[in-house]
């Protein structure tokens, strides 16, 4: 009874933190002064913008919204005029709303930074860990009681609210970053401590992402404490996120080297061949060459070799950052993936379509890099350049798909929407896994009882049961080898294996399930 | 040709699917329970909230029309084997050329004071689970009455019921007639090991205890009286004392019945073109090593596979490989292969090993003279079906088998 109370209290702490987080973008004071303007705005734009914004100098805005409007209005009106008079080189593309707001922040949010930091980041860690500890401290087996009775994990009202909040967060992060400024202020001191510079919205996002993986990783470690496989892969995911995705790039940046996530692989890392990144690597001496070589080695050698031996799980559910979030924060939602045949059909077109798009876009970018020629096709006054492809890809795939849909849809469509339908690297790994790998999930003779736990809890929406009840190995390009199907199987039927078998027997189908002698004798 | 199958369980559906693969005839599958085939073995997971009914359907709903398997939701009340007509309980009729009876089992009940009170349950059908769900919700939301369920029967369905009630926060007492859990299948040591585990999940296990009567207040269960003289206050009583072939409705059909529908090794009944498979079938003369009545998922499937071949004219008889089965007792997985008696038969020896934590055990049965491997029970291990079946079929020695378990 007491424990139950503490557990609710812990959940309450997380809710309080979420409430503070949601309110923050609407509050705070921002004082726009000439000094702020001079500091932040590029000298080449001073003349253009100063006269337009001059009236607001000295004004204090309550909430960031007014300031953002003021900045954007000034920039827009300048650009409209510049475009009208065809002064193309004078158009301003820089997003000053975020940087000005960041520099203009004053008042209680800034003063109460540490308190707010504690409320927004400390509370959910404390509350979350306490809740997790009380929920999963002594698990000996599968913990799925009530999954379809609770609104949060079965597309109920709470799930709807959470999904809307997540989607709104991603929309703000990608397209209205100025509204993240109060959150960013809270992590400034940390950024300054690590790399010496102020935080950006991406630093904020990276810290939150890492924190969520660590806390929810602890949940996985406890929930599956009886399984060495899940413990190991969860620990790996937490390690790679903390060190490779978060700390190492910050340290590299502090050392003035290209800040690269060394485990991110093209084409997931779709900007790897973009001019500015190639230049950064080529300008960074030996270390830069190492980065370039490492990046090429990863997708040309490491991916095929590792996938041959272990299947795509070595990346998707042991190393990858997207996988890291999906396997930790996303675990409560894995049962929401669509298992229908139609979903599989859509998936195959979509994910391989993205792979093709990524390859073409990269080829175009490289073409431009080598030839200096940006334009690719020109038909009747209509032209497409490699820069267009780049920005379409970045918008549609990099931001909308991977971010908004990928994570925002967790409570609606499960935790692997991006990995399943959109990730070009997953598609590439998947092709190798399907056709040139030893990895498969074997089914134990005739022991399947068709209960459906495996299919239900497959985050990739694979109808595992349809294979298991036929006694057939599961060999699917989408399988990320998370191993949950094997864990939830109540009859010990499923086993992830990568022992020597890369031949025809790997995908063999038998007319009847093992155990029925008469049929085998007479066929 | 119109083949009608009564029962959309694993036996009937497996037969229908394989028949469709090899023949173009009309196939109709009838069931009164649900529109579509679902996994009965998953009923507990629906109750516990691991899955919804939707998730327990192994095939999507479009599968049936795409494969031209007609489905009919109705209860068959009588069969006229002369006219080859089925009678439904709403007085509609359906003609068949060939009939497959695959009507499964029904829960056994007892004649006792109080069995008709509300709050007394059995577990076999989807509707049973719905009733259990309602009853449990009522108990949890009511201020009165004990938040306790009594499960009668120490077997596979009994232990599932215990886990189900515990998952919803009810207290549970389990009454086991034998000296230890599942005493007619597991040895005393194995049963004890499982009991310790069940108790660790908060279930009170009362062995060598039987239900004497159920008492109620205002038509609802309020306590049970036990053979030990004790009484337990409770709001739910779940009877899990076994199942029996669901064949009562065939009483006057002229189809010969024993405990089940009597069939030969090709599943033929005494009536022309009428067959029976699955839980409801009873072999007049079972193949060696096979029981007369087989009430598990796997046998239902194998019978369905075999009958589908017989119906397309193949000359085959039911001949399953070595017996196998599996179960899960809360977090403990159990598998069995071959013939494993609770205590050694005169010419047998049993090798038993268990770990100190009580999470794993192995019992190997072998022939005392020649040390030939006859069967194995494992708890807390997953062993390969193909491997063990091969050992059994080639009559491996016990040493060979035990070697695999060293380490
Ligand atoms: C809770 C539970 C758990 C189980 N777990 C396991 C397990 O883990 N492993 C295992 O091997 N076995 C298990 N079993 C046993 C297994 O489910 C059965 O052996 C198997 O389902 C029998 O299949 P069947 O096709 O013969 O019959 P059924 O599945 O019973 O199908 C028969 C169908 O016919 C319908 N029907 C009956 N009479 C009529 C009529 N007159 N008109 C119309 N329709 C009718 C019934 O309503 C039913 O839908 C379990 C059983 C239960 C109840």
Given a cut of 90, whether residue A375 has pLDDT beyond it is no
Residue A387's pLDDT band, with cuts at 50, 70 and 90, is very high
* B41 CB near ligand 1 (under 6 Å): yes
Does B56 contact A at CB distance below 8 Å? yes
- The finding on whether B35 has its CB within 6 A of some atom of ligand 1 is no
Containing domain of residue B336, as a range?
Answer: 324-403
**Mean pLDDT score, A50-77:** 94
Pocket probe mutation, ligand 1, options B4, B6, B7, B38, max atoms within 8 Å of Cβ: B7
- Asked whether residue B370 falls in the same domain as residue B306, the answer is no
Percent of chain A whose predicted confidence (pLDDT) is above 70: 99
What DSSP letter does each residue of A496-520 carry, written as one string? EE-SS--SGGGG---SS-TT-HHHH
B347 to chain A, any CB pair closer than 8 A? The answer is: no
Pick among A450, A486, A488, A496 to test the B interface (most B CBs inside 10 A): A450
Q: What is the pLDDT of residue B173?
A: 98
| B249 in contact with ligand 1, CB cutoff 6 A | yes
A445:B328 CB<8 A: no
- In this structure, the answer to whether residues B236 and B256 fall within a common structural domain is no
Mean of the per-residue pLDDT values for chain A? 95
Distances (CA, A) of B135 to A270, B128, B142, B156: 56, 10, 11, 22
Q: Does B10 touch chain A (CB under 8 A)?
A: yes
Instruction: Please give the C-alpha separations between residue A68 and each of A108, A171, A180, in angstroms, as whole numbers.
Output: 19, 16, 12
Percentage of the residues of chain A whose pLDDT score is greater than 90: 89
Of all residues in chain A, the one with the smallest CA distance to B308 is A519
- What is the pLDDT at residue A517? 83
Asked whether the beta carbons of residue B309 and residue A145 sit closer than 8 angstroms, the reply is no
**CATH, residue B32:** 3.50.50.60
Give how far Cα B349 sits from Cα of A351, B192, B346, B364, Å: 58, 20, 8, 8
Whether chain A has a CB inside 8 Å of the CB on B405: the answer is no
B66 within a domain of the structure (yes/no): yes
Residue A377 pLDDT exceeds 90: no
The pLDDT tens digits of the residues spanning B38-96 come to: 999 999 999 999 999 999 999 999 999 999 999 999 999 999 999 999 999 998 999 99
Q: Determine whether A273 is exposed, middle or buried from the number of CB atoms within 10 Å of its CB (0-12, 13-18, 19+).
A: buried
B9 and B65 within one domain: yes
Q: Does A456 touch chain B (CB under 8 A)?
A: yes
Range name among A135-144, A214-223, A480-489, B71-80 with the lowest pLDDT average:
A135-144
Is the pLDDT at A522 greater than 80, yes or no? no
Q: What is the pLDDT of residues B362-391, one digit of tens each?
A: 999 999 999 999 999 999 989 999 999 999
For A204-224, the pLDDT digits (tens) are 999 999 999 999 999 999 999
Q: What is Dmax (Cα atoms) for chain B?
A: 65
Last residue in a domain, options B211, B241, B271 = B241
Q: pLDDT, tens digit, for every residue of A30-61? A: 999 999 999 999 999 998 999 999 999 999 99
Answer whether residue B29 is part of any domain.
Answer: yes
Domain count along chain B: 3
| C-alpha B297 – ligand 1 centre gap (Å) | 8
A226–chain B Cβ distance below 8 A for any pair: yes
Q: How many CB pairs under 8 A join A and B?
A: 134
Sign for the CA dihedral angle at B387, B390, B395, B400 comes to negative
CATH topology of domain A438-520: Alpha-Beta Plaits (3.30.70)
Q: Kindly state whether residues B263 and B204 are assigned to the same domain.
A: no
Question: Which chain A positions have a beta carbon within 8 Å of B50's beta carbon?
Answer: 142, 144-145, 147-148, 453, 456, 488
pLDDT band at A159 (very low <50, low <70, confident <90, very high): very high
Q: Does B270 touch chain A (CB under 8 A)?
A: no
Mean pLDDT of B301-312: 97
Q: Is the pLDDT of residue A244 over 90?
A: yes
- The answer to whether position B114 is within a domain reads no
Is B71 inside a domain boundary? yes
pLDDT in tens, A310-332: 999 999 999 999 999 999 999 99
What is the C-alpha to C-alpha distance for residues A243 and A249, in angstroms, rounded to an integer? 9
Cα–Cα separations (whole angstroms), residue B61 to A203, A476, B29, B69: 48, 23, 14, 11
Note whether B10 and B297 are within 8 A (CB).
yes
Q: Nearest to residue A25, comparing CAs of A75, A58, A78, A66? A: A66
Higher pLDDT, B200 or A522: B200
Contact B321 A149 (CB under 8 A): no
CB crowding B45-70: b at 16 or more within 10 Å, else e? bbbbbbbbbebbbbbbeeebeeeebe
Same domain, B141 and B233: yes
pLDDT score at A380: 77
- The structure tokens listed for A64 are 């960031």
Tell how far the Cα of B156 is from the centroid of ligand 1, in angstroms. Answer: 14
Q: Tens digits of per-residue pLDDT, B121-134? A: 999 999 999 999 99
CA A384 – CA A136 distance, rounded (Å): 54
Tell if the CB–CB gap between A445 and B324 is shorter than 8 Å: yes
Q: Say if the Cβ atoms of A449 and B57 lie within 8 Å.
A: no
The pTM for the full model equals 0.96
Residue A225, chain B, CB below 8 Å: the answer is: no
Chain center to CA of A386:
25
Of A456, A492, A513, nearest to B382 by CB-CB distance is A492
Question: Contacts of residue B321 in chain A, CB cutoff 8 Å?
Answer: 514-517
ipTM of the complex: 0.96
Q: What average pLDDT does range A400-425 have in this prediction?
A: 96
Q: Is B9 part of a structural domain of the chain?
A: yes
Residue B222 domain-assigned? Answer: yes
Q: Is the pLDDT of residue B136 over 90?
A: yes
A501 versus A167: which is more confidently predicted?
Answer: A167
Tell which residue, B87, B29, B41, B98, has the closest CA to residue B279: B41
Pocket test for ligand 1, best of B131, B296, B306, B329 (most atoms within 8 A of CB): B296
Q: Residue by residue, what is the 3-state secondary structure of chain B?
A: CEEEEECCCHHHHHHHHHHHHHCCCEEEEEECCCCCCCCHHHHHHHHHCCCCHHHHCCCCCHHHHHCCEEEEECCEEEEECCCCEEEECCCCEEECCEEEECCCEEECCCCCCCCCCECEEECCCHHHHHHHHHHHHHHHHCCCCCCEEEEECCCHHHHHHHHHHHHCCCEEEEEECCCCCCCCCCCHHHHHHHHHHHHHCCEEEEECCCEEEEEEECCEEEEEEECCCCEEECCEEEECCCEEECCHHHCCCCCCECCCEEECCCCECCCCCEEECHHHEEECCCCCCCCCECCCHHHHHHHHHHHHHHHCCCCCCCCCCCCEEEEEECCEEEEEEECCCCCCCCCEEEEEEECCCCCCEEEEEEECCCCEEEEEEEECCCCCHHHHHHHHHCCCEHHHHHHHHCC
The stretch A88-94 carries a mean pLDDT of: 89
Domain termination site, one of B241, B264, B292: B241
Question: Would you say the CB of residue B191 lies under 6 angstroms from ligand 1?
Answer: no
Which residue on chain A is closest to B167 by alpha carbon? Answer: A145
Q: How would you class A330 by CB atoms within 10 Å of its CB: exposed for 0-12, middle for 13-18, buried for 19 or more?
A: buried
User: B314 — contact with chain A (CB < 8 Å)?
Assistant: yes
Question: Could you state, in order of their start, the residue ranges of all structural domains in chain A?
Answer: 29-106, 341-425, 438-520
Q: Which residues of B123-133 are buried (b: 16+ CB within 10 A; e: fewer)?
A: bbbeebbebbb
Q: Is A344 on the interface with B (CB under 8 A)?
A: no
Q: What separation in Å is there between the alpha carbon of A144 and the centre of ligand 1?
A: 25
Report yes or no: B207 at the A interface, CB cutoff 8 Å: no
Q: Considering chain B, what is the average pLDDT of its residues?
A: 96
In a domain? residue B111? no
Q: Give yes or no for residue B30 CB within 6 A of ligand 1.
A: yes
Whether residue A493 has pLDDT greater than 90 = yes
| Ligand 1 centre distance from Cα of residue A505 (Å) | 33
Report residue A521's pLDDT band, with 50, 70 and 90 as the boundaries.
Answer: very low
**Å from CA of A253 to ligand 1 middle:** 64
Using the predicted structure, report yes or no on whether residue A441 has a pLDDT greater than 50. yes
**Residue of B12, B14, B40, B106 to test ligand 1 pocket, by largest number of atoms within 8 Å of CB:** B40
* Record: contact B58-A445, CB cut-off 8 A: no
Residue A451: predicted pLDDT? 98
The lowest-confidence range among A11-15, A255-259, A301-305 is A255-259
Give A505→chain B minimum CA distance, Å: 15
Residue B99 near residue B275, CB atoms below 8 Å: yes
Which residues are CB-neighbours of B191 under 8 A, at least 6 positions away? B178, B179, B180, B181, B182, B183
Task: Identify which has the larger pLDDT, A164 or A523.
Answer: A164
Question: Is B157 touching ligand 1 by the criterion CB < 6 Å?
Answer: yes
Least CB-CB distance to B51: which of A449, A456, A512?
Answer: A456
Q: How far is CA B356 from CA A132, A217, A228, A236, A423, in A?
A: 29, 31, 20, 31, 47
Q: Report yes or no on B93 lying in a domain.
A: yes
Residue B407 — pLDDT band, cuts 50, 70, 90?
low
Substitution target in B18, B19, B45 with the highest count of A β-carbons within 10 Å is B45
- Could you tell me if B331 lies within 8 Å of chain A, comparing CB atoms? yes
């Amino acid at each position: 009874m007491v424990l139950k109370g503490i557990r609710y209290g812990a959940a309450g702490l997380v809710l309080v933190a979420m409430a503070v987080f949601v309110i923050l973008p609407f509050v705070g004071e921002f004082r726009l002064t000439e000094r702020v303007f001079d500091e932040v705005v590029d000298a080449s734009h001073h003349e253009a913008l100063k006269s337009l914004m001059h009236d607001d100098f000295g004004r204090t805005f309550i909430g960031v919204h007014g300031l953002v409007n003021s900045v954007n209005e000034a920039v827009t009106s300048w650009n409209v005029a510049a475009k009208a008079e065809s002064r193309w080189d004078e158009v301003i593309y820089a997003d000053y709303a975020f940087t000005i707001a960041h520099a203009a922040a004053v008042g209680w949010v800034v003063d109460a930074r540490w308190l707010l930091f504690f409320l927004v980041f400390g509370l959910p860690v404390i509350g979350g860990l306490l809740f997790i500890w009380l929920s999963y401290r002594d698990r000996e087996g599968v913990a799925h009681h009530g999954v379809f009775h609770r609104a949060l994990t079965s597309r109920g009202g709470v799930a709807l609210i959470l999904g809307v909040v997540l989607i709104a967060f991603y929309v703000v992060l990608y397209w209205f970053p100025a509204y993240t400024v109060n959150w960013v202020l809270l992590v400034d001191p940390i950024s300054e401590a690590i790399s010496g510079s102020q935080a950006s919205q991406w630093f904020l996002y990276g810290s939150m992402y890492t924190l969520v993986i660590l806390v929810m990783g602890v949940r996985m470690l406890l929930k599956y404490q009886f399984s060495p496989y899940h413990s190991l892969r969860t620990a790996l995911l937490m390690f790679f996120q903390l060190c490779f995705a978060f700390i190492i790039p910050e340290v590299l940046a502090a050392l003035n080297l290209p800040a690269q996530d060394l485990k991110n692989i093209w084409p997931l890392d779709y900007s790897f061949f973009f001019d500015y990144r190639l230049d950064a690597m080529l300008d960074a001496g030996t270390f830069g060459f190492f980065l370039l070589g490492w990046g090429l080695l990863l997708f040309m050698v490491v991916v095929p070799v590792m996938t041959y031996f272990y299947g795509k799980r070595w990346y998707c559910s042991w190393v990858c950052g997207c996988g890291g979030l999906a396997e930790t924060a996303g675990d409560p939602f894995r049962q929401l993936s669509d298992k229908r045949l139609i979903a599989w059909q859509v998936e195959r077109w979509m994910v391989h379509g993205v792979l093709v798009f990524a390859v073409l876009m990269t080829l175009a970018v490289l073409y431009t890099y080598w030839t200096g020629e940006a334009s690719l096709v020109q038909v009747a006054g209509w032209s497409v350049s490699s820069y267009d492809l780049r920005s379409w890809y970045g918008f549609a795939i990099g931001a909308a798909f991977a971010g908004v849909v990928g994570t925002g849809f967790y409570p609606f469509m499960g935790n692997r929407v991006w990995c399943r339908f959109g990730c070009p690297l997953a598609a590439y790994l998947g092709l190798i896994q399907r056709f040139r790998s030893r990895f498969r999930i074997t089914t134990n003779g005739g022991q399947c009882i068709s209960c459906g736990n495996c299919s239900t809890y497959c985050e990739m929406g694979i109808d595992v049961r349809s294979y298991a009840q036929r006694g057939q190995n599961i060999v699917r390009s989408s399988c990320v080898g998370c191993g949950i199907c094997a864990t939830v199987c109540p009859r010990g039927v499923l086993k992830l294996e990568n022992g020597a078998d890369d031949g025809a027997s790997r995908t063999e189908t038998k007319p009847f399930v093992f155990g029925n002698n008469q049929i085998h004798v007479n066929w | 040709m119109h083949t009608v199958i009564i029962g959309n369980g694993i036996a009937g559906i497996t037969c229908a699917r394989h028949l469709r693969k090899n023949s173009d005839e009309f196939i109709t599958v009838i069931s009164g329970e649900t529109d579509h085939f679902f996994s009965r073995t998953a009923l507990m997971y629906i109750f516990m909230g691991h899955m919804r009914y939707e998730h327990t359907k192994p095939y999507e709903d479009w599968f049936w029309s795409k494969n031209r398997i007609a489905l009919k939701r109705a209860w068959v009340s009588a069969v006229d084997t002369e006219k080859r007509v089925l009678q439904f309980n709403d007085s509609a009729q359906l003609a068949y050329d060939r009939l497959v009876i695959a009507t499964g089992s029904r829960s056994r009940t007892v004649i006792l004071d109080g069995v008709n009170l509300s709050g007394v349950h059995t577990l076999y059908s989807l509707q049973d689970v719905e009733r259990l769900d309602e009853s449990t919700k009522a108990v949890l939301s009511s201020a009165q009455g004990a938040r306790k369920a009594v499960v009668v029967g120490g077997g596979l369905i009994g232990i599932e019921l215990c886990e189900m009630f515990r998952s919803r926060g009810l207290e549970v007492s389990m009454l086991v007639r034998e000296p230890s859990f599942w005493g007619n299948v597991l040895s005393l040591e194995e049963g004890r090991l499982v009991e310790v585990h069940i108790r660790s999940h908060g279930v009170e296990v009362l062995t060598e205890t039987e239900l004497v009567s159920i008492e109620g207040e205002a038509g609802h269960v309020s306590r049970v009286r036990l053979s030990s003289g004790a009484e337990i206050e409770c709001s739910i009583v779940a009877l899990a004392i076994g199942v029996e072939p669901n064949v009562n409705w065939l009483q006057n059909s002229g189809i010969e019945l024993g405990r089940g529908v009597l069939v030969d090794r090709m599943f033929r009944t005494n009536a022309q073109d009428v067959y029976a498979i699955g839980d409801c079938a009873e072999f007049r003369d079972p193949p060696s090593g096979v029981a007369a009545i087989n009430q598990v998922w796997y046998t239902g499937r194998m019978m369905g596979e075999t009958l589908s071949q017989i119906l397309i004219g193949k000359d085959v008889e039911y001949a399953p490989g070595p017996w196998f089965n599996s179960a899960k007792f809360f977090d403990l997985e159990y598998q069995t292969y071959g013939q494993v008696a609770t205590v050694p038969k005169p010419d047998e020896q049993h090798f038993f090993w268990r770990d100190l934590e009580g999470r794993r055990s192995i019992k190997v049965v072998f022939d005392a003279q020649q040390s030939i491997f006859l069967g194995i029970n494992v708890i807390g291990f997953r062993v390969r079906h193909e491997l063990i079946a091969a050992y059994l079929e080639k009559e491996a020695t016990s040493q060979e088998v035990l070697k695999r378990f060293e380490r």
